């Protein structure tokens, strides 16, 4: 190994930069989690110190669990996120397979059309979407949210996945055809496992905005039955009094599921990268 | 069982015509090799035969039956790919079994065929491994095994050896030759390796820019090429082409193979200086810059010591000199 790439000052420099970045990125999160375990006086008295025996208080969590149906909100968020993610990945992958595998008239145009959504924010269409949902009787259902989020996630998914699908060996697909596999089997059994790292990337990119979204739950599904966590947390934001303990506790809890999903997908990501490298 | 007939097959990708009317007859049990420069349409033709690509026009007949609308799995063919194309998630055994399972072959029969094929290709120790745990040569043998167990009427090989190193290539070539002898199956083989083509083929098909230039046995192509392209393509080192006008000949171009030239230090037809000498042990390739003929290659059997810069005379074997007309065709 050459010493140039492993010199001590370089290593220290690189680590210093990375650690600083991590600290900056994690700071708000840590602040939220830390303060969620403090009493109201503790939060306002010394917001930057970790909870001490004197300021430690679980009042935020007890409020959250006592008031409103927070567990239910969680469930709603999870259902919406997982279902939308499932449909984005399924339809996104199928569309990209068709775009990259089959030659048909208007292929390029179709690809462009499907990718256009990346540049046009779906919120511009909120009024039309609301009218549509009212007309189809889907207001205040989770279905409405799932439909909107699926539409929102598809363009980027198709854009990324079709690039990766193009790289899957043609020979492999052809070998499958000669062995009599149907196009569906080729897609699900041969191609999908090979683009798993790309799917994980898309999943991460798609998941976080859906979980954090406040806009569409507020407009399309604000009922008690269909509230998501982000919407539910608004309960504690009053016009005159804001229950900071409860908000911070709710936010801390809201981090957990995304974190779990993220860990699952990033495993896939890393596995994909290393399996490609070792060959 | 296993004849193939191709009638005026054309293939275009959009405006680009890749195959411009191919006619070919392959008899039962023949080993046919497609050769040609990169991009001439060899793989495309093979894929049309396999049914992986639709032809734009023309017919493909296997055993006399038109298969133009038959899906690849029902054509009675098997294909071996350059990149092996093994299913990464299946063991060697299941890789071989998949096609048979899809076709509804009884399990006992699948077992029997895998046993025979793996014995034939020495794959028994690896049956439970996955492709990622095999070397390149082993992978290609699995790919061949996967073709063998299907007991096809027609084997299609698309440059199966080009990802292997030189020593392995010779071994696997031998295995394919033995396989052909043992199975007596019809095989079509794409390569751009001269040696593979010459050693394996009963019949070579030389393709160029989507057309067949010549069909014949290896020796026919070597001894009587139909045109300049085939003459230049078959044989290594390449045939020397000399402008006829410079030699005072009526033909447009004169062709002499490097092995049909002799050199002498004192006298001969063409005087030239040695530019470079390649010593291969068994033969020596000399590059001569001749006054009349230009730069030519001479292949001498055995060791021949020639210093660059020294003067030598080259003489072509008159009986083995080819004359080409302005259209590139051989003049007789
Ligand atoms: N799917 C496709 N779309 C457009 N053009 C194609 C397609 N497949 C092949 N071609 C073109 O057809 C021509 C012939 O390709 P083909 O793969 O048959 O060449 P080949 O003789 O097998 O070459 P090689 O020896 O490099 O494998 C090439 O010019 C290639 O660019
Ligand atoms: Mg090819």
What are the CA-CA distances from residue A195 to residues A170, A199, B81, B163, B188 (Å)?
14, 6, 21, 24, 33
Return the H-helix or E-strand segment holding A216.
helix A215-220
> B39: Cβ below 6 Å to ligand 1?
yes
**Residue ranges per domain, chain A?**
8-60, 67-239
Measured between beta carbons, the chain A residues lying within 8 angstroms of B50 are 174, 178
Superfamily grouping for domain A67-239? MetI-like (1.10.3720.10)
* pLDDT tens over chain B, length 332 residues: 789 999 999 999 989 999 999 999 999 999 999 999 999 999 999 999 999 999 999 999 999 999 988 999 999 999 999 899 999 989 999 999 999 999 999 999 999 999 999 998 899 999 999 999 999 889 999 999 999 999 999 999 999 998 888 888 898 899 899 999 999 999 999 998 888 999 999 999 999 999 999 999 999 999 999 999 999 999 989 999 999 998 888 899 999 999 999 999 999 999 999 999 999 999 999 999 998 889 999 999 999 988 899 999 999 999 999 999 999 999 87
CB contact under 8 A, A179 and B99: yes
**Residue ranges per domain, chain B?**
4-230, 237-324
The reported pLDDT for the residue numbered B325 is: 93
CB proximity list for A236: less than 8 A, separation 6 or greater: A63, A242, A243, A244, A246, A247, A250
Q: Quick one: which of A117, A142, A148, A113 has its CA closest to A130?
A: A148
Two structure tokens written together for B89: 């998630």
| CATH level 2 (architecture), domain B237-324 | Beta Barrel (2.40)
B4 vs A63, more confident: B4
Residue B186 CA to residue B202 CA, distance in Å, equals 11
The reported pLDDT for the residue numbered B127 is: 94
What ipTM, to 2 d.p.? Answer: 0.86
Nearest CB among A171, A179, A194 relative to B73 is that of A179
pLDDT at A201 > cutoff 90: no
DSSP state of A189: I
CB proximity list for A79: less than 8 A, separation 6 or greater: A142
For domain B4-230, give the fold.
Rossmann fold (3.40.50)
CB proximity list for B135: less than 8 A, separation 6 or greater: none
pLDDT at A85 > cutoff 50: yes
Residue B266 CA to residue B272 CA, distance in Å, equals 11
Measured between beta carbons, the chain B residues lying within 8 angstroms of A194 are 88
Residue B51 CA to residue B74 CA, distance in Å, equals 10
Asked if B262 and B255 count as a contact pair (C-beta separation under 8 A), the reply is: no
Lowest mean pLDDT among A36-40, A268-272, B71-75, B88-92: A268-272
Q: Does the bond joining B237 to the residue before it have cis omega, within 30 degrees of 0? A: yes
> B22: Cβ below 6 Å to ligand 1?
no
The reported pLDDT for the residue numbered A275 is: 53
Q: Quick one: which of B50, B68, B71 has its CA closest to B58?
A: B68
Condensed to tens digits (0 to 9), the pLDDT of residues A65-83 reads 887 688 888 899 999 999 9
């Amino acid at each position: 190994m050459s010493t140039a790439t492993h010199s001590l000052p370089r290593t220290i420099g690189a680590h210093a930069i990375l650690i600083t970045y991590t600290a900056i990125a994690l700071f708000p999160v840590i602040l939220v989690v830390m303060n969620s375990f403090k009493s109201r006086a503790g939060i306002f008295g010394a917001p930057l110190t970790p909870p001490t025996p004197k300021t430690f208080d679980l009042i935020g969590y007890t409020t959250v669990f006592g008031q409103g149906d927070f567990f239910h909100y969680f469930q709603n968020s999870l259902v919406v996120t997982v279902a939308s993610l499932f449909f984005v990945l399924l339809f996104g992958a199928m569309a990209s397979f068709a775009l990259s595998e089959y030659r048909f008239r208007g292929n390029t145009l179709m690809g462009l059309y499907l990718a256009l959504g990346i540049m046009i924010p779906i919120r511009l269409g909120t009024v039309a979407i609301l009218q549509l949902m009212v007309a189809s009787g889907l207001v205040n259902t989770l279905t409405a949210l799932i439909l909107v989020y699926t539409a929102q996630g598809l363009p980027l998914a198709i854009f990324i996945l079709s690039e990766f699908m193009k790289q899957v060996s043609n020979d492999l697909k052809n070998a499958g055809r000669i062995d009599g596999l149907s196009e569906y089997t080729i897609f699900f059994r041969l191609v999908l496992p090979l683009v798993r790292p790309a799917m994980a990337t898309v999943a991460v990119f798609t998941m976080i905005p859906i979980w954090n979204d406040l806009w569409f739950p507020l407009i399309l599904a604000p009922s008690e039955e269909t509230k998501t966590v982000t919407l539910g947390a608004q309960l504690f934001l009053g016009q005159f009094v804001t229950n900071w303990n409860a908000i911070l506790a709710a936010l801390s809890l809201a981090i957990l599921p995304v974190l779990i999903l993220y860990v699952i997908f990033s495993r896939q990501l890393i596995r994909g990268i290393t399996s490609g490298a070792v060959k | 069982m296993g004849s193939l007939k191709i009638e005026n097959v054309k293939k275009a990708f959009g405006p680009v015509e890749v195959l411009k009317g191919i006619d070919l007859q392959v008899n039962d049990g023949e080993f046919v090799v497609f050769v040609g420069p990169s991009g001439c349409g060899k793989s495309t033709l093979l894929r049309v035969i396999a049914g992986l690509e639709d032809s734009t026009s023309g017919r493909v007949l296997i055993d006399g039956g038109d298969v133009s609308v038959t899906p690849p799995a029902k054509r009675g063919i098997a294909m071996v790919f350059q990149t092996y194309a093994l299913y990464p998630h299946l063991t060697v055994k299941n890789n071989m079994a998949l096609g048979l399972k899809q076709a509804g072959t009884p399990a006992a029969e699948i077992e029997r065929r895998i046993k025979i094929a793996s014995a034939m290709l020495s794959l028994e120790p690896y049956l439970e491994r996955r492709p990622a745990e095999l070397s390149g040569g082993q992978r290609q043998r699995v790919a061949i095994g996967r073709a063998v167990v299907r007991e096809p009427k027609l084997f299609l090989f698309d440059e199966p050896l080009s990802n292997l190193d030189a020593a392995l290539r010779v071994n696997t070539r031998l295995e394919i030759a033995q396989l052909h002898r043992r199975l007596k199956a019809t095989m079509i083989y794409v390569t751009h390796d001269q040696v593979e083509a010459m050693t394996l083929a009963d019949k070579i098909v030389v393709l160029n820019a989507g057309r067949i230039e010549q069909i014949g046995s290896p020796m026919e192509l070597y001894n009587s090429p139909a045109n300049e392209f085939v003459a230049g393509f078959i044989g290594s080192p390449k045939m020397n082409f000399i402008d006829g006008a410079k030699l005072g000949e009526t033909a447009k171009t004169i062709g002499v193979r490097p092995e049909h030239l002799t050199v002498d230090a004192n006298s001969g037809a063409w005087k030239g200086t040695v530019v470079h000498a390649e010593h291969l042990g068994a033969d020596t390739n000399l590059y001569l810059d001749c006054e009349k003929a230009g730069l030519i290659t001479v292949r001498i059997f055995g060791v021949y010591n020639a210093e660059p810069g020294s003067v030598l005379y080259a003489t072509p074997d008159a009986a083995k000199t080819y004359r080409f007309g302005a259209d590139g065709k051989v003049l007789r």
